[in-house]
Amino acid sequence: MTTLDTLELPETKDPYEPVVARLIETEPLTELERLFVFEPSDGQVLGHRPGQFVQVWIPGVGEAPISICSSPTRGRTFELCVRRVGEVTSHLHRLTAGEEIGVRGPLGNGFDMTAMQGQNVLVIAGGLGLAPARSVIEYVLDERARFDEFHVLYGARSPAEILFRHDLIRWRHREAINLLVTVDRPDEQWRGRSGVVTKLFADLPRLNPERTCAVVIGPPVMFKFVVVELLARGIPHDRIFCSLERRMRCGIGKCGHCQINADYVCVDGPVFTYERMRELPEAVT
Ligand SMILES: Cc1cc2nc3c(=O)[nH]c(=O)nc-3n(C[C@H](O)[C@H](O)[C@H](O)COP(=O)(O)OP(=O)(O)OC[C@H]3O[C@@H](n4cnc5c(N)ncnc54)[C@H](O)[C@@H]3O)c2cc1C
Ligand code: FES
């Protein structure tokens, strides 16, 4: 007879309980953003999908949702790109190698990379959106044979605000990726393209829309203009995947802080198809 003593119950973990992560190294990316390489102290891997996030917990300070910017194909460490804006992020910027923080996650749905296999992948990233996009980009590069054409369009406000410069140089020298970069406000030294990210569409080759998945990550203002370009190229609504940002608290669908109609961005998102977003008119306001 099965009793409560003999029944094997799956191990349940308190979703509010963070795991400890140790900072391995950190480097400045711009004046406001730093890259952090962490390793979970319990010896586990985070096991995330590109597009998921963690709730970073600084004891006595607070929590903040931060996207994982590394690919799950890159071993036991995970990376975060953090813009210093307030309490939690400023505290993170003061951390040095060897110090520990708490993280909950991975949280959110992330991008379904399996569904994109065999397809052309077109990533459009604006500003800090390159952080979660980097997880997608490195994943596709590491699993390159599984995908068809790979195009990445990235727009930053100014040359000084360009993120992941070393990665951009490395990616640009790979034949496996067509990377186009632009800045809104060029300076005297800038020799690249200028203008908003949608201008880069003019330099894209013709893509078969029925075999193309688009990944869109950036500030809300960018979405509508990018989606117009994608629709003009015939990319179906359910092949356009957008990552949304909403203010969050619990990150696990309990507090309602991130709710848009019936959807919780923290669990039903942050990735939504354009098809779904059309039913959430306040999604990008
Ligand atoms: C799913 C998700 C992924 C994210 N990924 C990243 C990431 O990879 N890197 C990163 O640097 N940031 C990311 N953010 C944003 C980050 O969570 C906020 O900037 C965070 O609140 C900062 O915490 P803080 O305590 O330092 O600042 P706070 O003290 O909370 O706020 C500082 C300032 O930022 C404003 N603010 C805070 N949160 C938001 C928000 N969501 N939208 C608009 N304004 C806001 C506040 O009004 C205030 O002016 C993400 C947010 C979400 C929801
Ligand atoms: S942040 Fe609490 S429900 Fe989404």
- The domain that contains 45 carries what CATH number? 2.40.30.10
Q: What percent of the chain has pLDDT over 90?
A: 84
Residues 156 and 210 occupy one common structural domain: yes
Query: Which whole number is the average pLDDT over 58-74?
Result: 96
For the CA of 61, the nearest atom of ligand 1: 25
Last residue of some domain: 51, 81, 107?
107
**Which residue intervals of the chain are DSSP H helices?**
87-93, 130-142, 165-172, 220-232, 265-268, 274-277
Q: What is the pLDDT of residue 6?
A: 45
Residues 132 and 220 occupy one common structural domain: yes
For the CA of 254, the nearest atom of ligand 2: 3
Q: Let me know if residue 28 belongs to a domain.
A: yes
User: Which mutation among 255, 260, 261 tests ligand 2's pocket best, with the greatest number of atoms within 8 A of CB?
Assistant: 255
pTM passes above 0.75: yes
Say how many Å lie between the CA of residue 245 and the centre of ligand 1: 9
Taking CA atoms only, the protein residue closest to ligand 1 atom 29 is: 86
CATH number at residue 146: 3.40.50.80
For the CA of 269, the nearest atom of ligand 1: 1
pLDDT in tens, 163-182: 999 999 999 887 799 999 99
Range of the domain at 126: 120-243
Residue 78 has pLDDT above 60, yes or no: yes
Q: Let me know if residue 6 belongs to a domain.
A: no
Q: Let me know if residue 253 belongs to a domain.
A: no
248 lines ligand 2 (CB under 6 A): yes
Residues 129 and 236 occupy one common structural domain: yes
Q: Report which of residues 284 and 47 the model is more confident about.
A: 47
Q: Let me know if residue 143 belongs to a domain.
A: yes
Q: What is the pLDDT of residue 7?
A: 46
Last residue of some domain: 107, 135, 167?
107
Q: Let me know if residue 268 belongs to a domain.
A: no
Q: What is the pLDDT of residue 12?
A: 55
Calpha distance 156→125 (Å, rounded): 9
* Cα angle: 149, vertex 269, 9; to 5 degrees: 110
pLDDT in tens, 131-148: 999 999 999 999 999 999
136 lines ligand 2 (CB under 6 A): no
53: alpha, beta or left? (left if phi > 0; alpha if psi -120 to 50):
beta
Q: Give the list of residues 6+ apart from residue 281 with CB closer than 8 angstroms, or none.
A: none
Q: What percent of the chain has pLDDT over 70?
A: 95
pLDDT in tens, 183-236: 999 999 999 999 999 999 999 999 999 999 999 999 988 998 999 999 999 999
Say how many Å lie between the CA of residue 8 and the centre of ligand 1: 41
- Asked whether 153 and 125 are in contact (CB, 8 A), the reply is yes
237 lines ligand 2 (CB under 6 A): no
Taking CA atoms only, the protein residue closest to ligand 1 atom 9 is: 82
Residue 49 has pLDDT above 70, yes or no: yes
